Structure 1
Amino acid sequence: MAYSTPGNALGNEAANLYRDHAVWLFGWLRRRLGGNNTDAADLVQDTYVRLMDSGRYPPIGEGRAFLAQIAKGLVLDLQRRRRLEFAYLEALASQPQAEFPSAEQQHQVLEVLIRIDRMLDQLPAKVSQTFLLSRFEGLTYHQIADRLEISYGSVRKYMLRATQVCLLAMDE
């Protein structure tokens, strides 16, 4: 897909795409989100913000496909974030009340979890799988090597790489 260079027309191209496709995009997102108007409206705005931040615009006639591609990524991000929030809240519910973190601490932990998840998602599949198998399924390095059909040394290398990424996400 070829993209035009925004130059001085940045505002005009975005405004034209918004005018021509925002209502359609809202309906498309609303259907994908099970009729949730609030999330659909938020993601319409986020789609155009991401579009303008990228500075990449579709050729004439390909606006809907281009916007839908951006919006699909945002829907996946929203769903991933909701799953993380749900899992975190479930884990919190099993904690004794005395150990329950404040609302601010909960928010901070969720933000870090979301950053870690995003960073792990950008790693090669075997690296993130290795990390998840170790940390969430409790498998040993040898068990991971057997399951993924990789060497023990690869497991060690992948764990180091994933751990470094997680530490970077926590420092942001």
Structure 2
Amino acid sequence: MTDFALPEKGDEPRRLLAEVVERCYAELRSYARLKVGDDGIAEELVQEACLRLVTSGGEVPRNPRAFLYRVLSNLVTDHHRRRARFNKSFIHSDALDAADDRPDAERQIIARQRLAILVRAVAELPPRCRECFVLRRFDGLSHTEIADRMNITRSAVEKHLAAATVHCARRLKAHD
């Protein structure tokens, strides 16, 4: 893992969490892919689970790996429920007459602030890590495509993505 991702002195719980995320990332992604059948959605669900572990606050769970699987399982269930609701509402034409779901002004301001924090966090990443993160999250490339383009292994791609996720989560948590 790159030096930016290493925690400050006396920050052993964060170091543990970063190591757990790095070790479990590939297996979590495989599990999510199996459950949702889509690489992109699986990737996003795993990243969300990792973010929730890192930003959970309080004490480190006794078994962080089990915590990640539990959160990921819940996220998969939520994904299936949202998809079922969408499919059901799409079939019913009266769903087109639903109320305006746009966020209010306060939520828009908060969202812009969080986006600015994420932009700064991504800019702070080491160049190779940032490139890997941008290729995945913004260009939508698969791990294999990123590895080929950057001439690195899939394992290195996963490590860069895990490190970037932890870094961005820390920045968001510090702001919140």
TM-score tier (shorter)? 0.3 to 0.5
Larger Rg: 1
TM-score normalised by L of structure 1: 0.46
**Which protein, 1 or 2, shows the higher relative CO under an 8 Å CA cutoff with sep ≥ 6?**
2
TM-score normalised by L of structure 2: 0.45
